[in-house]
Amino acid sequence: MDTLPFFADLAPPRFVSGISIVDVEGTLAFHGSSSAEPRAAFRIAAMRGTMRLFLCSNAADSGRVARMARDLGIPVLALRGRKPWGILPPDFLRGATMTVFGDKLLTDGLFAWRLGARFVKVRRLVSGRESLADRIAFAIDDFLASFFA
b/e burial code for range 39-63 (CB count within 10 A of at least 16 → b)? ebbebbeebeeebbbbbbbbbeeee
- Pick the more confident residue, 16 or 135: 135
Q: What is the pLDDT of residues 83-99, one digit of tens each?
A: 998 888 877 776 778 89
Q: How far apart are the first and last CA of the chain?
A: 9
Give the pLDDT confidence score for residue 60 in this predicted structure.
Answer: 78
Predicted TM-score of the model (pTM): 0.92
Give the pLDDT confidence score for residue 16 in this predicted structure.
Answer: 58
- pLDDT band at residue 124, thresholds of 50, 70 and 90? very high
Q: Does 63 have pLDDT greater than 80?
A: yes
- The alpha carbon dihedral of 10, 15, 16, 21 has a sign of negative
d(CA 118, CA 86): 17
Amino acid at 100: V
